[in-house]
Amino acid sequence: MFVRTLIAIACAAGIAGCTSYSGPTHNTDVVTLANGAQAYRVQCLGLLESAKSCMAEVKRICGDKPAMRVSSVDRINSNLKSDDDPREITFQCGAPVVEQPVQPAPAVVAPVVAPVAAPAPAPVRQAPARKVTLQGDANFAVGSATLMPAATARLDDFIAANQGVDIDHLTIAGYTDSTGSARLNNRLSAARARAVQGYLANGGLRASKWDVQGYGSASPVSPNTTAAGRAKNRRVEIQVDGK
């Protein structure tokens, strides 16, 4: 009676439900544990029964699978001490399921994107100069082909405006006023035109063809009857044709 009481206590504490079937040396129940899992309970409580009978039934039920003991009830002697002779074993078949710890998902680190520098604006290229005229007495010494600072400054601007430009045809025409002989005027106008050509070429101006001529007092742009008119006629015209 005492043993039966212990069995009832064990069933109430850990087992939610039971289904029974019996053999000649044991009683076997299919039980549902409190956590909802299915288990088996073998009882060997008769006088001719033993713990070996229970273990034999455990091995028969589990077969090749290992038996995992959930609980057991030992026989109690007259001194109320355990005989280490379990006559009731609750067990499950198969290795216990070990819950793996849930690993936290790795933190997603956004890549550091370096700011993209805005492209530097393309330099604004100056349009090539197509024509420049050296006119008046400030460009050459009197009666000479020597270039004065005013002329070289104008020519430097012309070179800079056409830097890197491949010019197909460059015309340089020199003119004088009507004072003096035609021979002198032709020679002086040609010398001034060549002086301009040399300065441009030394400054890096490129041209496939150079047309350099002196025309003397021909093609005046102003009357030669006044000093102002004659000063305008003393000139060198530089003209770009093509690129």
Q: Kindly indicate the confidence band of residue 149, based on its pLDDT and cuts at 50, 70 and 90.
A: very high
Bridge partner list, 209: 169
- Report the chain's C-alpha Rg in angstroms: 60
Write the DSSP string, 97-157. Answer: P-PPPPPPPPP-PPP-PPPPPPPPPPPPPPPPP-EEEEESTTSB-TTS-PBPHHHHHHHHH
pTM score of the predicted model? 0.49
What pLDDT, on a 0 to 100 scale, did the predictor assign at position 186? 96
CA distance 63 to 83: 28
Match 């047309």 to its residue by tokens.
211
SS3 content of the chain, % helix, strand, coil (to 5): 25, 30, 40
CB 50, CB 44: distance < 8 Å: yes
CA distance 28 to 22: 6
Q: Which residues contact 44 (CB under 8 A, 6 or more apart)?
A: 25, 26, 27, 50, 51, 53, 54, 57, 87, 88
Give the tens place of pLDDT for each residue, 153-209: 999 999 999 888 889 999 999 999 999 899 999 999 999 999 999 999 999 988 999
Query: Domains of the chain (ranges plus CATH)?
Result: 2-93 (3.30.200), 131-241 (3.30.1330.60)
CA distance 242 to 160: 18
SS3 call for 179: coil
Task: Identify which of 197, 133, 196, 128 has the alpha carbon closest to the alpha carbon of residue 166.
Answer: 128
Q: Is the pLDDT of residue 5 over 60?
A: no
Instruction: Return mean pLDDT, the chain.
Output: 80
Instruction: Report the alpha-carbon angle 84-85-91, nearest 5.
Output: 100
Give the tens place of pLDDT for each residue, 85-128: 777 888 888 765 555 677 777 777 777 777 777 777 765 555 56
